[in-house]
């Protein structure tokens, strides 16, 4: 085994300047700007006739606005979770945001007369497209967010991935809610919710492989090699 003094010498000898990461709030804002633009373009690209008129319905609009806020808070918490020693208030705010978002969706789905004409939950065929939209439409955002998170320290990979997946799921859900009229909000609640849960589970399962110290060290060594010009 190498002595600790020798290790320190080696680390110092191979030291390269690094750009300190920006604050989690600023990184979250940058990600949300790009992600919101992407979701807006995706929604416009696939929107069906009559879908845009749903935007003026408060029962649809309010949960989506809450979803954007919840997404911002969750993604900020995800970025904070890869900074050692960062306080945990970001996590609490993210939890509050997610609870508010799920509450707003539940009120929209089960409140007032929304459930009066709902079909059987499993019979809503167009919801399969919504599931595909959340999973496939969210995939590029997952890749982009993972690339940004890998610049941090992989302290709690599963927590970080769960927060990121919730943020992306809530954003992709906005597109899923707007692209086509949904006659039955209860069906939409369960199908969309199921898709988001699936997204979270997949991301949490893959997190230990993507956000690991081994991957971070490999990446750091790769950057040092690039700046050294060595092969």
Judged by CB under 8 A, which stretch of 59-67, 81-89, 118-126, 140-148 contacts another protein?
81-89
**What is the rounded distance in angstroms from the CA atom of residue 117 to the CA atom of residue 138?**
30
In the list 50, 116, 125, 214, the residue contacting another protein (rule: CB under 8 A) is 214
Q: Return the residues of window 87-146 that contact another protein according to CB under 8 A.
A: none
| Rounded distance between C-alpha atoms, residue 214 and residue 83, angstroms | 17
Dist. CA 200–CA 207, nearest whole Å: 10
Closest CB to another protein among 24 and 137? Answer: 24
10 binds another protein (CB under 8 A): yes
Of the candidate residues 68, 82, 105, 161, the single one contacting another protein (CB under 8 A): 82
Q: Give the whole-angstrom CA distance, residue 65 versus residue 38.
A: 16
d(CA 13, CA 36): 43
Nearer to another protein, 104 or 211 (CB): 211
Number of residues located near another protein, criterion CB under 8 A: 44
What's the N-to-C CA distance of the chain in angstroms? 26
Using the rule CB under 8 A, give the single segment among 111-119, 127-135, 152-160, 175-183 that binds another protein: 152-160
* Cα distance between residue 167 and residue 173, in whole Å: 10
* Binding of another protein by 229 (CB under 8 A): no
Q: Which of 83, 107, 131, 146 binds another protein (CB under 8 A)?
A: 83
Kindly write down the DSSP assignment for every residue of 63-84, as one continuous string.
HHHHHHHHHHHHHHHHHHTTST
Which residues would be at the binding site for another protein (CB under 8 A)? Answer: 1-2, 4-21, 23, 82-86, 151-153, 155-156, 213-214, 216-218, 220-222, 224-225, 228, 230-231
């Amino acid at each position: 085994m190498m002595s600790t003094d020798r290790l320190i010498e080696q680390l110092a000898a191979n030291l390269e300047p690094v750009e300190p990461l920006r604050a989690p709030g600023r990184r979250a804002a940058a990600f949300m700007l790009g992600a919101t633009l992407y979701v807006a373009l995706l929604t416009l690209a696939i929107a069906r006739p009559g879908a845009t008129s749903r935007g003026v319905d408060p029962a649809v609009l309010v949960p989506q606005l809450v979803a954007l806020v919840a997404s911002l808070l969750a993604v900020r918490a995800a970025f904070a979770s890869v900074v050692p020693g960062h306080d945990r208030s970001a996590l609490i705010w993210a939890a509050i945001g997610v609870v508010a978002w799920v509450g707003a969706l539940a009120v929209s789905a089960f409140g007032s007369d929304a459930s009066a004409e709902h079909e059987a939950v499993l019979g809503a065929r167009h919801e399969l497209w919504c599931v595909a939209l959340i999973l496939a439409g969210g995939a590029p955002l997952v890749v982009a967010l993972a690339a940004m998170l890998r610049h941090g320290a992989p302290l709690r990979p599963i927590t970080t991935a769960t927060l990121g997946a919730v943020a992306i799921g809530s954003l992709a859900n906005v597109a899923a809610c707007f692209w086509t009229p949904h006659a039955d909000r209860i069906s939409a609640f369960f199908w969309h919710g199921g898709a988001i849960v699936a997204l979270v589970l997949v991301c949490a399962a893959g997190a230990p492989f993507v956000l690991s110290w081994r991957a971070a060290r490999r990446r750091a060594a790769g950057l040092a090699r690039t700046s050294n010009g060595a092969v």
